[in-house]
Structure 1
């Protein structure tokens, strides 16, 4: 058997799976986006650009997604990096496994139950009531962008912590010792050694969180209360409520294009910032 034929046979199952589960659904969605809504809802075959021309009617959903998804990613990064650094570098190895388990404990509970818990905490009987008892008024927290960001950070933080933790755990501690021996203060060693070498984990964590947030719909629906909605909420409404499949498909195609452009630009910027290192592209 020739090497080319052997390689083809080995890649055939994965290729068929990729085509059937990823490429084919995207093709179907793209075809639907040029159709028309049937009289009873659903899809009617046609070729029209009207659905793309009407994307502006969903601008609020796109704006919320493009603002809160990057903001949530940055917040997750700012909280996850110190936590991952502590777990990988400072924590006692005897307790490291237990601490890692505590990070993923929230994943053992349904996101629906966790969201309901935050609705209570941010509602009138939770934090606002406590703040009111302290004499600082009664702020409105639930059904706001702030509540959505809280839910995003709480729900997606582990996905940011673990890639960064892996990168920091693999860090050769002798490099930090050498930097200290050469007279570098701790902050300079961090900026010149630790941070650049942990960039693969940072890039991977940011991509995991950002891509999932772009399609998020449960957290905005529950903590946003219908006042803060993402593109995912618009898609649920278009496909399941109004049954306007062609317009929903056009919104989905626009979202995919935005994600591709954003992710490509981010990967190029990250690679350039890291000096063209190939190991940054772990995602």
Structure 2
């Protein structure tokens, strides 16, 4: 009996590790191996021709120095665009998520469906649709020109505002849904208790609703900011050469110039910047209630 019990305990200790083996294998194949390959490429030197490039691994940290010096403007522009898109998306999405969570009643599922509805159309088609909407001869530009918001012969397409607008539209759903989940979990009795304590609506929001919804703010902000930093579709179709983002540079270096070490170094620079921003942001808001 003692041997059977010992064998059972042994199996119970091994079982959790066996259960996570598939996940570990998946991460090793599709994350660790590509990550290591990209890292080696970023420290390699490129040779040969543009049609037959060759790579030599030689710890060439000059690729990182060149990435910072040559593409500083694009890096800063991407940070600015992503930050602006995140802030504006939060300001727009929070009232909408609040209304859906607390005021929509039996229309809650309908409104959530409308929020998700744009994702039934591909990302590229949605972006091309905005290119048509913001065209110089389109309804939006003509209307803004007629009411004097835009100067004569002014335009929206190929501007920074068009790129930021595309980033906001294409990622706002990722802000709304986490906010809705956090707001929907708030017990309405807490709001009633704050009113019993003679709290105003503004004070109830700042002291009850906002702190309890911070996990949603954090999750939504990260889901918008991280993809926006690496985006290149919106800048490519809605912007111009003056609105190029770091994602456009990486795409061109990989697919056109065939400068694989430079593109890999830029990719790691982008990852480092995103990681630093995420760690700073999560440290400021806290993550203990995120999961």
Q: Give TM class, smaller chain.
A: over 0.9
Question: Which residue number in structure 1 is paired with residue 56 of structure 2?
Answer: 45
State which of 201, 208, 227 in structure 2 corresponds to 1:193: 208
Instruction: Give the structure 2 partner of residue 80 of structure 1.
Output: 93
Q: Within 5 Å, which residues of 2 pair with 1:1-283? A: 1=8, 2=10, 3-41=12-50, 42-47=53-58, 48-55=60-67, 56-92=69-105, 94-126=106-138, 127-134=140-147, 137-271=152-286, 278-280=288-290, 282=291
Distance (Å, rounded) in 1 between the aligned partners of 2:154 and 2:202: 38
Supply the distance in 2 between the matched residues of 1:227 and 1:173 (Cα, whole angstroms): 49
When the two structures are superposed, what TM-score results if normalisation uses the length of structure 1? 0.93
The higher radius of gyration belongs to 2
Give the secondary-structure state (helix, strand or coil) at the position aligned to 1:184: coil
Query: Does the residue aligned with 1:44 lie in a helix, a strand or coil?
Result: strand
In structure 1, the gaps of 5 or more residues are 272-276
Q: Are the equivalent residues in 2 in contact too, given 1:43–1:246 (CA < 8 A)?
A: no
The answer to whether the 8 Å contact 2:40/2:57 transfers is no
In 2, Cα distance between equivalents of 1:52 and 1:98? 49
Give the aligned CA root-mean-square deviation in angstroms.
Answer: 1.4
8 Å contact kept, 1:214–1:232? yes
> In structure 1, how many angstroms separate the alpha carbons of the residues matched to 2:178 and 2:57?
45
Gaps of 5+ in 2: 1-7
Alignment coverage as a number of residue pairs: 275
* 8 Å CA contact 1:235, 1:252 repeated in 2: yes
Q: Which runs of 4+ in 1 moved over 6 A?
A: none
Contact 1:215 1:231 in 2 (8 A): yes
Aligned-pair CA distance for 1:260: 1.2
